[in-house]
Structure 1
Amino acid sequence: MARSGGSPYASILLVLCIFQVTVVRGQSTHPIEANALNAIKARLIDPINKLKKWNRGDPCTSNWTGVICHKIPSDTYLHVTELELFKMNLSGTLAPEIGLLSQLRNLNFMWNNLTGNIPKEIGNITTLNLIALNGNQLSGSLPDEIGYLKNLNRLQIDQNQISGPIPKSFANLTSIKHLHMNNNSLSGEIPSELSRLPELLHLLVDANNLSGPLPPKLAETRSLKIIQADNNNFSGSSIPATYNNIPTLLKLSLRNCSLQGVIPDLTGIPELGYLDLSWNQLTGSIPVDRLASNITTIDLSHNFLNGTIPANFSGLPNLQFLNFESNSLDTIPAAFEPPKAVIVLLSGNPVCDNPARAAGLCQPKSVSEAPSGQGPQVSIDCASCPTDKNYEYNPLSPIPCICAAPLGVGFRLKSPGISDFRSYKKAFEMDSTSVLNLSIYQLYIERYTWEAGPRLNMHLKLFPNNTNLFTMSEVVRLRQLLAGWEITLLDIFGPYELLNFTLGSYEDEFPDAGSSGLKKGTLAGILVGTIISAIAVSVVATFFMMRRRSKRQIVSRPSILSRLSVKVDGVRSFTLEEMATATNNFDDSAEIGVGGYGKVYKGNLADGATVAIKRAHEDSLQGSNEFVTEIELLSRLHHRNLVSLIGYCDEEVEQMLVYEFMPNGTLRDHLSETCKRPLNFSQRLNVALGAAKGILYLHTEADPPIFHRDVKTTNILLDSKFAAKVADFGLSKLAPIPDVEGTLPEHISTVVKGTPGYLDPEYFLTNKLTEKSDVYSLGVVLLELLTGMKPIQFGKNIVREVKAAYQSGDISRIIDSRMSWCPPELATRFLSLALKCCQGDTDARPYMADIARELDDIRRALPEGEDLLSVTSMETGSLATLTQSTSNSFITTTGEHFDSSHASGSSLMDSGVPSRMAVTPR
């Protein structure tokens, strides 16, 4: 009895835990959906008991395997939003009751052994974004009702036994981007109605029984990048000449389709990278016009083509594979000299009767096996890793001999636009690790193998960052990114699919996860328990802190600043008590933001000054480099376009930085689609100029100069007059200084850090940080200012998307329609400057001084009076009045053009883009 009364804090903790569990358990799954899940379970056969949790408790609150739930505002129940039963060795059939899951967004039964039909009731789930049923044994026809799903983004029913026609109702899938229906038994024609799909990127219908003519109307699609229809029977059909008018097309693969007629002119497809028309009945000569310069593969083998081989084919700079086998070609031009790296196949043509001219090109070869490979074999002289765990050495780690547990990932490119992966391996590693937010050495491509299709099967290993294990949250994050198709790869790699996600040693850490894949439902229960405990512990810790503070018994520890001898002249040192008072004890109402470092609070100091207080969370305290770096740099930096550091707090277990308060928040806030008063063109131009001037100061006037290393829209803050100030110097690096001989190094070699989407590709690839790395990042910011898009969103990379629009001459479709006016000549100059900043070649990028100068010239070229908008429009709301008061040229969101008596300044960077531009919604 005495023990129970000895610790009131234990009692508090127990009560809090019980309270939190009660809150979580107080909600339950909607009864209709709970019954539907039970009906689904009754139709499934579960031989290895993967769904054992489905036999007890409430589906959402008992964390049924693969069931993810959320609450919606309209009622008090929890609703099933995701059904993730990927690769669980399930068989049986899909129950029609699945249509009762009215809030379901993701339906994922990939890589099981399901049979029977796809229930037509799926068409009732209008919230569906993803249907992934590929890799099963489903049969029957596709239900017309799928065409009701206006929000569907991805339909994957490939590698089943589905028969019948492709429903014409699919033309109503106005949000669909990916139609993967290959390797089935579909019959009939490809519906021409699919040309009405505005977002369609990938049409994969190869290895079916499709017939009839290829629909010419597919040329009317706006976004189509891949047509893959190999191994069908379009007997008597020719390749529509209209396909030359698909400006976005990257891959056209029509192998073994019984096609006849001549090869049409394809020079109107500016991005074409892969052309396979082999094993058809095509006649006539090969069009001699040059194809797109980025083409990697041309396969015209096994047709009835005659005449000569186009000499200019050998000059295509990215060509990997050129196959003319088994035709009637009789001439090789003298100018035809392909590089040695290009595989050229000519056997089976009359030209091979002249062995002197065709030497080395006419030997028959098997072209079905493209080069496969494996990761680098590195000899590491280390002791053996523990045999009781699946630990191994990462052969790419910069720190050798660390035993680590990798995650295994089966990964397949479903329609790559290349024939040889070796020269694109580095680009794949760079793209995938950028979106996964891993260092490039954490990805090890153990092996890759070409399969029929052709498709590229890869086995990847993801290693923790020089530690033994990933944290649980990291495992969950990586699984969600891979399984959610959230990796943005170069278009040339095409769509991908996750084949497996193997935990290895993590089975011991998360025993319920299973080797087939990590279930978010299972981990949700673990996370809920963790959160509950964290909340309880946090409250108790706060209780302790308040008790100790009230008694003035604060026990100090040596300041990390004093231990590191950091010079902090000109900034104030605050106590923890002062910070608590300024924020009302860090009340939630004072919180104005959160980032990787910690939370940011609005505070009021004793002298009446309003400040922003960035409070480090516990993980950030363990390594205080960012804290120290920011204080050391900002204490000696003073510029109107840099956020000022007022002080810091460094005592007990707390580290805080105190800045001037920026009332208009981050630039990203004002580019968000939810922003009620978006910035106009003049304001965006002034923000860009202010940010450029701030970074220019860092590069040229700071002593020594500084590379920011994390320029992005969330690190550009806006004051009360919407002037831009660059913030967050936690990742910054001092620029190199001359060596003893006076030579100035061109770069700093450092571990890659920064934000995906903003990272300089050259820095990411080589670890060489230069001032041009900040230029690239600012270029991305400029693109965001002009388009409103995020750097990486919905699988799209802003640089690639804008560059494609720029090259096509149609930049109006990417301009942010929320700008009420946009002078076309100036917007073109702005866009041209941004793209110059984002060039892959660092030497081709301008310096920051050039950027600031060009932005200032654009600002000066604004129609008279329009530059006032940067200061007044957000404060007065008088945008309409101001635009009407000017007599100068501008374009409204309706596309109306107003004549001007003032000529705009000419561009310093000629773009070649049409000067007239109507701003239309994206």
Structure 2
Amino acid sequence: MIRNSGAFPLLGMSKSRACTFGAVLLIWLCCSSLLVAAQDGITDPVEVVQGRMMTKCLNFAVKALQDIRNSLIDINKNLSNWRRGDPCTSNWTGVLCFNTTKEDAYLHVRELQLLNMNLSGTLSPSLGRLSYMEILDFMWNRITGSIPPEIGNIKSLKLLLLNGNQLTGPLPKELGYLPNLDRIQIDQNHISGPIPKSFAYLNSTKHFHMNNNSISGQIPAELSRLPKLVHILLDNNNLSGTLPPDLYKLPQLLILQLDNNHFDGSTIPPSYGNMTQLLKLSLRNCSLRGPMPDLSGIPNLGYLDLSFNQLAGPIPPNKLSENLTTIRLSNNNLNGTIPAYFSELPLLQLLSIANNSLSGSVPSTIWQTRTNRNEGLDLHFENNMLSNISGSTSLPQNVTLWLQGNPACSDSNIVKFCGSQNGDMDDQNTTESNVTCLTQSCPPPYENFKTSASSCFCAAPLIFEYRLKSPGFSNFIPYRVAFQEYLTSGLELYLYQLDLSSAAWEKGPRLKMQLKLFPDYVNGNSSHTFNDSEVRRIVSMFTGWNIPDSPIFGPYELLGINLLGPYADGLSPKPISVLSKIN
């Protein structure tokens, strides 16, 4: 603050003229400093301006948000309230703010939550001026154009969520200089061009979700030095070249999913057998050649897909992890015999070695040694050179075997396994509600659900469309209860508060679900709805990706939030008093 005492008038001016000059000077200095800050794109340009002396200064946060809105086409008028009041105190749709007491006392935009609002248009470069933002969420809209490089100015950004749009153009190299970025989700767009080498500087990033685009070129070898990367999902792109051999150096990598790319002539580096933390390796249809690597040194490997390549030679004889649920080796040029250790994998759900040149016998111990006869097992052995089944041809319940196209089908005892098949476990859909209440009807949107006391209660659910992006199994049914326990534990809810009404496999394979969450039932006087703060807590758990990842269930994606009836305004931000603050 510039002060002028009566004893020292400014340049000999009168007191009144001095005060006027001081006010003008203060406004000029303020606006000048804001302009410099905005141009630098490094520090936040005082996003909410307070005080009478500041009213003539440009409010850069409001101007940035207006630019963002003007670049979008909002046919449903979801952003109609972005034209009045202050964004942080007037409940602008999707704008969440917080206090930052470390540097100033102003309010700052912390999140833009604009998922699934039927928005089109383009992303404004003014996004880069919201320099305190932590979550940028435009998921599941119809936005076109390119990703603005100015987003690289948001040094506080943790979640960049742009998946499910129609974005084109290359990935800006500026995104590689976001020091706090935890997750980049740009999947299901039309992004083209190479992965910038600058992404090797994303030392805080755990999740690369860039599948289903047109990204081309080679995977930069520099990515192998990222210390926290746990998920690489780059399937369904136009990647080429060779597989980087040094990816095994990633100390935390759990999922490497590169299906449907074009690594012509590349072999799978033997070093991939040293990825000791890996849970899932999926390299389906990648034009890979050479031998299948020895992966017996990966102790927790649960899902392996090397199908639809040109791998040749025998299946390595060393035993793979007992955690394997899925082995897909079909449509290669593998030869030799079926390894004996396939009989020693207690969690196995799917074994597909069809369309190879395997010979010898099918060991019946694969199904005879199963300890849990109620869990399904699909065995796809068709179109090889298998001569017979060694041992019993009597299959336990829920085991299916396909042998058509093998010499063994000439045996009358085996021909029953040689008919046409109806697909594998990718095609399964499950619909099974936890709710079995039929005696009481509830007016919509209220529904009956079974409480912990085994009685029925009318309540309004929160409904979430949810999808597992890279699950570590092929059959969900044995994992259904474990999933419900995992999710309710992560949400800090009771198990009975979740109704998993449907689960359906989609291409990927990915598993789409509808989740219904009901309020806690304490007694006959319990509330029939979640209170406002609980709605916000639960929604923020999903939108902030605060539910811990699971080794078997893998990463998830939020497809939509259905807030009906009493929750219709549940996503409208409340005043700052109900939002968390940084201390």
TM beyond 0.5 = yes
Equivalent-residue separation in structure 1 for 2:347 and 2:141 (angstroms): 39
Equivalent-residue separation in structure 2 for 1:244 and 1:181 (angstroms): 24
Change (3 A) 1:378 1:406: closer
Equivalent-residue separation in structure 1 for 2:248 and 2:344 (angstroms): 28
- Work out whether 1:472 is the aligned partner of 2:532: yes
In structure 2, the residue matched to 1:373 is 430
- Work out whether 1:446 is the aligned partner of 2:481: no
Note if contact 2:167-2:191 (Cα within 8 Å) is conserved in structure 1: yes
Which AA in structure 2 matches 1:506? P
Equivalent of 1:239, from 268, 277, 282?
268
Note if contact 2:243-2:263 (Cα within 8 Å) is conserved in structure 1: yes
Cα deviation per residue 1:5-56 (whole Å; 9 max; x = unaligned)?
xxxxxxxxxxxxxxxxxxx996799822221111111101110110111010
Note if contact 1:325-1:345 (Cα within 8 Å) is conserved in structure 2: yes
Q: Return 377-386 or 46-55, whichever deviates more.
A: 377-386
Note if contact 1:345-1:363 (Cα within 8 Å) is conserved in structure 2: no
In structure 2, the residue matched to 1:385 is 442
In structure 2, the residue matched to 1:455 is 510
Note if contact 1:244-1:266 (Cα within 8 Å) is conserved in structure 2: yes
Equivalent-residue separation in structure 1 for 2:99 and 2:238 (angstroms): 44
Cα deviation per residue 1:522-549 (whole Å; 9 max; x = unaligned)?
x347959xx9xxxxxxxxxxxxxxxxxx
Cα deviation per residue 1:400-429 (whole Å; 9 max; x = unaligned)?
231111111111000011000111111111
Which AA in structure 1 matches 2:563? L
Equivalent-residue separation in structure 2 for 1:398 and 1:192 (angstroms): 56
Equivalent-residue separation in structure 2 for 1:361 and 1:82 (angstroms): 56
Equivalent-residue separation in structure 2 for 1:25 and 1:463 (angstroms): 41
In structure 2, the residue matched to 1:190 is 219
| Shift of residue 370, structure 1, vs aligned partner | 3.9
- Work out whether 1:92 is the aligned partner of 2:121: yes
Equivalent-residue separation in structure 2 for 1:267 and 1:358 (angstroms): 32
Equivalent of 1:51, from 57, 79, 83?
79
Change (3 A) 1:247 1:395: same
| Shift of residue 63, structure 1, vs aligned partner | 2.2
| Shift of residue 336, structure 1, vs aligned partner | 3.8
Equivalent-residue separation in structure 2 for 1:438 and 1:68 (angstroms): 25
Which AA in structure 1 matches 2:466? F
Which AA in structure 2 matches 1:470? F
In structure 2, the residue matched to 1:419 is 474
In structure 1, the residue matched to 2:400 is none
Note if contact 1:126-1:149 (Cα within 8 Å) is conserved in structure 2: yes
**Secondary structure of 2:426 counterpart:** coil
Change (3 A) 1:471 1:182: same
| Shift of residue 381, structure 1, vs aligned partner | 4.4
In structure 2, the residue matched to 1:354 is 408
TM-score, scaled relative to structure 1: 0.52
Equivalent-residue separation in structure 1 for 2:135 and 2:185 (angstroms): 12
Equivalent of 1:402, from 457, 474, 493?
457
Which AA in structure 2 matches 1:347? E
Alignment of 1:706-855 (within 5 A): none
Cα deviation per residue 1:866-897 (whole Å; 9 max; x = unaligned)?
xxxxxxxxxxxxxxxxxxxxxxxxxxxxxxxx
Cα deviation per residue 1:693-727 (whole Å; 9 max; x = unaligned)?
xxxxxxxxxxxxxxxxxxxxxxxxxxxxxxxxxxx
In structure 2, the residue matched to 1:79 is 108
Change (3 A) 1:100 1:379: closer
> Which entry has the higher C-alpha Rg, 1 or 2?
1
Equivalent of 2:280, from 248, 251, 257?
251
- Work out whether 1:345 is the aligned partner of 2:410: no
| Shift of residue 506, structure 1, vs aligned partner | 2.2
In structure 1, the residue matched to 2:96 is 68
In structure 1, the residue matched to 2:68 is 40
Say how many residue pairs are matched: 496
Which AA in structure 2 matches 1:266? L
**Secondary structure of 2:379 counterpart:** strand
Alignment of 1:659-678 (within 5 A): none
Note if contact 1:30-1:79 (Cα within 8 Å) is conserved in structure 2: no
Change (3 A) 1:235 1:368: farther
| Shift of residue 213, structure 1, vs aligned partner | 0.6
Unpaired runs of 5+ residues, structure 1, are 1-23, 532-673, 675-922
In structure 1, the residue matched to 2:188 is 159
Cα deviation per residue 1:785-817 (whole Å; 9 max; x = unaligned)?
xxxxxxxxxxxxxxxxxxxxxxxxxxxxxxxxx
Where is the helix percentage greater, Structure 1 or Structure 2? 1
Which AA in structure 2 matches 1:384? S
| Shift of residue 337, structure 1, vs aligned partner | 2.8
Which AA in structure 1 matches 2:565? S
In structure 2, the residue matched to 1:213 is 242
- Work out whether 1:506 is the aligned partner of 2:566: yes
Change (3 A) 1:329 1:396: farther
Equivalent-residue separation in structure 1 for 2:363 and 2:454 (angstroms): 53
Note if contact 2:426-2:474 (Cα within 8 Å) is conserved in structure 1: no
Cα deviation per residue 1:472-511 (whole Å; 9 max; x = unaligned)?
111111100011111124211110011111112224xx4x
| Shift of residue 287, structure 1, vs aligned partner | 1.1
Which AA in structure 2 matches 1:136? N
Change (3 A) 1:123 1:400: same
Equivalent of 2:294, from 265, 269, 293?
265
Change (3 A) 1:370 1:263: same
| Shift of residue 361, structure 1, vs aligned partner | 5.1
Change (3 A) 1:31 1:305: same
Q: Return 332-341 or 178-187, whichever deviates more.
A: 332-341
**Secondary structure of 2:541 counterpart:** helix
| Shift of residue 385, structure 1, vs aligned partner | 1.7
In structure 2, the residue matched to 1:624 is none
| Shift of residue 238, structure 1, vs aligned partner | 0.8
Equivalent-residue separation in structure 1 for 2:334 and 2:92 (angstroms): 60
Change (3 A) 1:428 1:419: same
Equivalent of 1:484, from 535, 540, 544?
544
| Shift of residue 376, structure 1, vs aligned partner | 4.0
Equivalent-residue separation in structure 1 for 2:58 and 2:282 (angstroms): 47
Equivalent-residue separation in structure 1 for 2:333 and 2:88 (angstroms): 62
CA RMSD of aligned residues (A): 2.3
Equivalent-residue separation in structure 1 for 2:294 and 2:420 (angstroms): 29
Cα deviation per residue 1:376-415 (whole Å; 9 max; x = unaligned)?
47653423223xx311111465342311111111110000
Cα deviation per residue 1:130-172 (whole Å; 9 max; x = unaligned)?
1000000000000000011011000000000000001111000
Note if contact 2:125-2:148 (Cα within 8 Å) is conserved in structure 1: yes
Equivalent-residue separation in structure 1 for 2:193 and 2:361 (angstroms): 46
- Work out whether 1:302 is the aligned partner of 2:331: yes
TM-score, scaled relative to structure 2: 0.81
Cα deviation per residue 1:537-587 (whole Å; 9 max; x = unaligned)?
xxxxxxxxxxxxxxxxxxxxxxxxxxxxxxxxxxxxxxxxxxxxxxxxxxx
Alignment of 1:264-663 (within 5 A): 264-334=293-363, 336-338=365-367, 339=370, 341-351=376-386, 352-355=406-409, 356=411, 362-365=418-421, 366-367=423-424, 369-376=426-433, 379-386=436-443, 389-395=444-450, 397-466=452-521, 467=526, 468-507=528-567, 510=568, 512-513=569-570, 518-519=571-572, 521=573, 523-524=574-575, 527=578
Unpaired runs of 5+ residues, structure 2, are 1-47, 387-405
| Shift of residue 367, structure 1, vs aligned partner | 2.5
Equivalent-residue separation in structure 2 for 1:502 and 1:130 (angstroms): 22
| Shift of residue 68, structure 1, vs aligned partner | 1.4
Q: Return 344-353 or 165-174, whichever deviates more.
A: 344-353
Note if contact 1:311-1:335 (Cα within 8 Å) is conserved in structure 2: no
Change (3 A) 1:378 1:503: closer
Equivalent-residue separation in structure 2 for 1:477 and 1:97 (angstroms): 29
